[in-house]
Amino acid sequence: MKIIDDLLATLDLRASARDIRMGLFHTAVLTRNCGLATTMPRDIFQQTYEGSTSIKDPGYLLEKDMQELARMVYSERIPEAAIGMATINSLLDINESYCLELNAGDLIAEKGAGKKVAIIGHFPFTGKLRKIASELWVIEKNPRTGDFVEAEAENLIPRADVVGITGTAFTNHTIEHLLELCNPEAYKVVLGGTTPLSPVLFDYGIDAISGTKVIDPQLVLRCVSQGATYPQIKGVKKLTMMRQK
């Protein structure tokens, strides 16, 4: 995956892993900074049911070097890929001067008012979007009432004026395909705790990157270990990086 190749190429790997936590909903890795990624429990349970092993060498991950940990993002095993994404996020040097404290839901609502909007992943703000978008298509691997199944992405995403893509598309290796489905003129946002706040994403036609910067690593590690969902994780700052036209 070239987008992940390019992300890895920007990282300073001269660090060591100090802590790794895999909670029910999120994974956190502490290196120079602390990085997050969604654990994706349903996908893990499905892989386990299908007979896939989970993590190789659990209990000894802190002995791995940064390149080995970060390259776990390429793994087909979801928990390993989540550790890889959290490691990448922990190694990013986020320049806040290029970011806004802007909620992704508000940005998508602003860009999507009166337009056709496709959201890959179910987010809390979709109820608000239904009231202001001309059409809203929520595409989910685990659909709720009113959502569309993954197979509908091929038909719906190319028709959208605004597309929001969950950062977990990096973990499950669908990000490049989803971007290829987008209309070149569509406004594209990648969002969620897994999203890497890196300008590399702009090279792939993404217009806005909404992710998370950890500002209190110990508090975040504690929240993750105690089963916090994303809104429950304290000690973070939600930031949005916009592509300069």
Domain boundaries, the chain: 2-95, 97-212
17-26, 142-151, 183-192: lowest mean pLDDT where? 142-151
Confidence label for 1 from pLDDT (cuts 50, 70 and 90): confident
Rounded distance between C-alpha atoms, residue 215 and residue 204, angstroms: 28
**pLDDT at position 50 over 70:** no
Task: Give the pLDDT of residue 4.
Answer: 97
In terms of DSSP H, where are the helices of the chain? 2-9, 41-49, 66-70, 78-91, 104-112, 126-132, 153-156, 168-171, 175-181, 217-225
Query: Which single residue is written with the structure tokens 């959201």?
Result: 119
Task: Give the pLDDT of residue 41.
Answer: 66
**pLDDT at position 49 over 60:** no
Task: Give the pLDDT of residue 48.
Answer: 61
pTM: 0.94
CATH domain 97-212 topology: Rossmann fold (3.40.50)
Which tokens go with 135? Answer: 């059409």
CATH domain 2-95 topology: Enolase-like; domain 1 (3.30.390)
Task: Give the pLDDT of residue 46.
Answer: 66
Q: Give percent of the chain with pLDDT exceeding 90.
A: 86
Q: Alpha-carbon torsion 17, 239, 176, 233, what sign?
A: positive
**pLDDT at position 54 over 90:** no
